[in-house]
Chain A
Amino acid sequence: MEAQAIFDALKGKFGDAVVELQSEGFSPAFVVVAPAAVKEIARFLKDDPALSFDSLMCLSGVDYKEKFAVAYHLHSMKHRHAIGVKAFLPRENPSLPTVDDVWPAANFHEREAFDLFGIAFEGSKDLRRILLPEDWEGHPLRKDYKYPDFYHGIKV
């Protein structure tokens, strides 16, 4: 399916929760969705036989300075088509529902986004830091992150 057809299918099913289609300069194109509806949309994208996005290729956090985004790259082994899904989040307390019960692989990616951007994934089965030490303070890939001077007495 082409990106426009996938977008139309989502728009018909979820209405206002599906905001826009970003196809200029993106490959695959991105469907921008409301953060609260991410889980239902993910479930539909995976389970609908015409879409059947069975593979979550990548889940990444993005810092746009005034807001955050979480981008999902999806691929269907069955139909050999791909789409991106993007949800914009506010700067203060960014959070959205987890998709780790739709694609189990999402868990590690969500932990990485949580670790480096501080984006909370509600309902996650295991949301801990994955790369940095447990007692690290702050989220280093945020644009406004200030480096600590010392960590455990060692100069950073």
Chain B
Amino acid sequence: MVGNADLFVNWARKSSLWYLLFATACCGIELMQAGASRYDMDRFGAVFRATPRQSDLMLVAGTITHKMADRVKRLYEQMPEPKYVIAMGSCANTGGPFYKDSYCVVKGVDLLIPVDVYIPGCPPRPEALIDGIMKLQKIIMQKKNFGAKA
């Protein structure tokens, strides 16, 4: 019985992954492309929202600088639970081409906020982004929302 409730809640959550419109570099162009009609992330229930208050998923698309870091954290904190993060592209994963000898780029967004799925690529193609979203949906389907807490 509890399993069925989990299944239902997880299904509802994975089918409406509204993502925050948050693009800081060239990955944002791929993100727009993935959201537009040719790749159409709406098929998986992922549509963009212009405010963190209505978002379930933060797609960190692009380079995060130290100046931007405070804003990233604030946007993440403004999102309602349950919330998920996908780090899209090399910059958000590790700092990418700026890993060595950069004073201003954060070396991976996981230094700031918890990340669920990492998508490699510079920038990743829309197929890779959609694959990342489907991986996140698999993670969501395994969540246990009811029953005894450990």
Name A residues whose Cβ lies closer than 8 Å to a Cβ of B.
131-133, 140, 145, 147-148, 151-152, 154-156
Contacts and interface: CB of A to CB of B under 8 A. Distances in A.
Interface string B47-74: 0000000000000000000110110000
A140 B104 CA distance: 9
Given A140-B104, A147-B103, A148-B103, A155 B67 contact: no
A133 B65 CA distance: 10
Given A145-B103, A156-B66, 18 more contacts: A131-B104, A132-B67, A133-B66, A133-B67, A140-B103, A140-B104, A147-B103, A148-B103, A151-B66, A152-B66, A152-B69, A152-B70, A154-B66, A154-B69, A154-B106, A155-B107, A155-B111, A156-B103
A130 to B, nearest CB: 11
Closest CB pairs A-B (n = 9): A133-B67, A151-B66, A140-B103, A147-B103, A154-B111, A156-B103, A154-B106, A154-B69, A154-B66
A154 B112 contact: yes
Contacts of B69: 152, 154
A81 B106 CA distance: 43
Nearest to B105: A156
A137 to B, nearest CB: 11
B111 A132 contact: no
A75 to B, nearest CB: 30
Contacts of B111: 154-155
Interface in B62-98: 66-67, 69-70
Contacts of A133: 66-67
A147 B103 CA distance: 6
Contacts of A152: 66, 69-70
A118 to B, nearest CB: 14
Contacts of B70: 152
B106 to A, nearest CB: 6
A154 B70 CA distance: 11
Most-contacted residue by chain B among A131, A152, A156 (CB, 10 A): A156
